[in-house]
Every structure is written in structure tokens, then in C-alpha cells.
Amino acid sequence: MSTENLVVWQKWVDPFGFDDDEEELSSFINKDQADETEYNQTSALPDQEIIQNMKASTIKVMATPMGIIPINDNTASGKIFNFWIGHTNFNITKKIAGVIEAINGVETLDIFTRYRFRIAIGKAFNDSEVMRDINNTIYKELNNNV
């Protein structure tokens, strides 16, 4: 049974949910308001003002080997890098990893499993062109080893 080698691409999603903060706060506020409608009727601030106050008082941080760093637009990896996940139906060997790293536009390469990897594409490069170059080069490499 012979299957064609395949790389499927998926946009990486920030596990810290950096973009989901406002939505989470809105649902939290709506739940509180449903539970305590009479109490909040006399002293409630508009939703947007509550969200802004909660955002101002909540600071997300992460522990790193260099100490505790606040997570903001300047430190959130999803804001700094243009990450993509590659899913394969073949093993990502050291040779394949070297092929991927050698492609122009690939800033970083992280191998997660034998079938999954993550790349960061440089901001000066076109995403689809870099991914197409990776696919073509990998397919050629795999066909040469058959």
C-alpha cells in the first residue's frame, strides 16, 4: 500500500489566548450580572468600562529561565512570530529537518512529534511561497530516497 507524501498546513494558535481576553471578560461579566441582577443594577459600570478596569488590573506573566516576564504585545510569541504548524504522513527525520531549515524565509523550526513541526516565517517573506518551497523541496528529497 503506497501513499503519497503529504504536508498539511495549519495556522498556529497562541496557547495563552492573547486575542481571547476581551471575549472571556465579556462572558464573565454577563454571568456575574445574571447571578446578581438586583445588586448590580444600582452600582454597575458599563461593560466596556469594567473590561478596561479588569484589563488594567490583570497582568499576565510567564516564567522563563531569565525570570518572570509580562506577556504583552512586545513579548507574546504569537504577536512577534508568524507561526505555522506542518502535519505530515511521513517521519520528520534529521535530514528532513535540515531541508526545512535551509528554505529561505524559515526563521525557526520546532519538531513536536515525528509527524508534526512548527515553523516561523520571516515577516519579509510571503507565507504561501515559503510553504510551497518547503513542500516541493521535501517531496523531491523523499522521492530521491525511494
The domain ranges of the chain are 7-13+80-144, 21-59
| pLDDT for position 102 | 96
Q: What's the mean per-residue pLDDT of the chain? A: 76
What's the whole-model pTM score?
A: 0.62
* pLDDT the model gives residue 73: 65
CB 143 within 8 A of CB 131: no
Strands (DSSP E) contained in the chain are: 7-11, 61-64, 67-70, 82-88, 106-113, 116-121
The confidence score (pLDDT) of residue 82 equals 85
**Residues whose CB is less than 8 angstroms from the CB of residue 35 and which lie 6 or more positions away in sequence, other chains included:** none
CATH number for the domain formed by residue range(s) 7-13+80-144: 3.30.70.100
Write the pLDDT tens digit of every residue in 83-136. 999 999 999 999 999 999 999 999 999 999 999 999 999 989 999 999 999 999
Mapped onto helix, strand or coil, the DSSP state of residue 95 is helix
